[in-house]
Amino acid sequence: MEPINFVDLKKQYSAIESDVNESLSAILKSGQFILGPVVEEAEEALSKYTNAKHTISVSSGTDALFVSLLALGIGPGSKVFIPAFTYTATAEVIALLGAEPAFVDVDEDTYNISCESLITKINQYPKSELSNSAIIAVDLFGLPADYNTICDIAMNSGLYLISDAAQSFGGSIGSQKVGKLSPITTTSFYPTKPLSCYGDGGAVFTDDDEIAMKIKSIRSHGITDNPYENVRIGTNARFDAIQAAVILSKLKIFDEELSRRESTSSIYNQELKNIVETPITTNQVKSAWAHYTIRTRDRDGLREFLTKNSIPTMIYYPKGMHEQTAYQKYHNGDPLIVSEKLCSEVLSLPLHPYMSENQVYYVSGKVKEFIG
């Protein structure tokens, strides 16, 4: 059996090598590297895929969040409700804008923001303090959050809603794909993400014409049509043509890759469901399976055992955001019990579209061997 990689970008490259090489060579010859026709083509393809009216590509998933918050006018005085169990970027952009991240516990089954805890947290603030505030829901490990409920909560509380779909591009709820589940959706094309490029990249999806126009302007220093007319404060969050070409190539095989991720996860679920806590699956909510994450009490022992057996694993995430040194000051001491429990129990197993069945059975066999 071949060695098992946590993700395998080399195998994926072999599958698209000639297509991607041809496009990259055309870009090198064109001399147009930042924004331009290939970036526009990728944006159109992404809008077609998600059915979102606007796709604004940007330089990373972090910037996608940053420009979205900036476009909404989030800043000093704003509160932004986020799950405590997430990647740093979700909290970081809020703090950078001078707003306050408000940490909410997550749901024990989905690992996504708990709607009950969200309502409790929102109710801690007088309405007058939430006049320019927002919720960022995160689709952890690829599973879309409960947007049917979260959209209602946002509307009833007068809060903006952003979906941080850095890990869930390709996921869906019913017939609606990620990109259409929330008024604003951000994603990341970081190399290990389900749809990824060969560097940093990201995108914002929205049906809102005004927000789209503002984000387009903000990603290019707040300009409109005239490059030397700055109508608002912006930044440099532009996407580049080389990364756009990679996205176009990978989109061609993306659905096939998603179904391979799904098959691998199904084997893991089947093999491990009575052994450890396995990820929740429903017919209605489809995960993009960015990561296959199990939970077990002796997580560290299991990890050591798997490492000894040449099986790479990752801990996403070892600490809640409220426990991180830089963010402790935003935490008011509310219990975040589920988030903290998950941090001590979660373990992500290797999962990528190029794993063989043998490899998947080998990994699950080793997990069983240890737990059994």
Ligand X SMILES: Cc1ncc(COP(=O)(O)O)c(C=O)c1O
Judged by the rule CB under 6 A, the positions of this chain that interact with ligand X are: 60-62, 86-87, 89-90, 138, 164, 166-167, 188, 190, 200, 202
Coil, strand or helix at 160: strand
Query: For residues 23 and 186, which CB has a smaller minimum distance to ligand X in the complex?
Result: 186
Query: For residues 12 and 185, which CB has a smaller minimum distance to ligand X in the complex?
Result: 185
CB of 186 to ligand X, least distance (A): 7
Task: Note the Cα 262 to chain centre separation in Å.
Answer: 17
CB of 139 to ligand X, least distance (A): 8
Query: For residues 67 and 360, which CB has a smaller minimum distance to ligand X in the complex?
Result: 67
**DSSP character at residue 172:** E
Tell me whether residue 170 is exposed, middle or buried, using C-beta atoms within 10 angstroms of its C-beta: 0 to 12, 13 to 18, 19 or more: buried
For tokens 């049906």, name the residue: 207
CB of 202 to ligand X, least distance (A): 5
- DSSP H/E element including 223: none
* Torsions phi, psi for 259 (to 5 deg): -70, -30
CB of 274 to ligand X, least distance (A): 30
Query: For residues 60 and 359, which CB has a smaller minimum distance to ligand X in the complex?
Result: 60
Residue 204 tokens, joined: 């914002």
| Angstrom distance (rounded) from CA 114 to CA 153 | 12
Query: For residues 113 and 130, which CB has a smaller minimum distance to ligand X in the complex?
Result: 113
* Torsions phi, psi for 14 (to 5 deg): -60, -35
| Interacting residues of 69 by C-beta distance below 8 A, sequence separation 6+ | 80, 93, 94, 97, 99, 134, 162
Coil, strand or helix at 292: strand
Residue nearest ligand X by beta-carbon distance: 61
CB of 263 to ligand X, least distance (A): 23
| Angstrom distance (rounded) from CA 117 to CA 330 | 17
**AA letter at 132:** N
CB of 298 to ligand X, least distance (A): 26
CB of 165 to ligand X, least distance (A): 8
Query: For residues 19 and 92, which CB has a smaller minimum distance to ligand X in the complex?
Result: 92
Residue 313 tokens, joined: 């694993």
Query: For residues 85 and 330, which CB has a smaller minimum distance to ligand X in the complex?
Result: 85
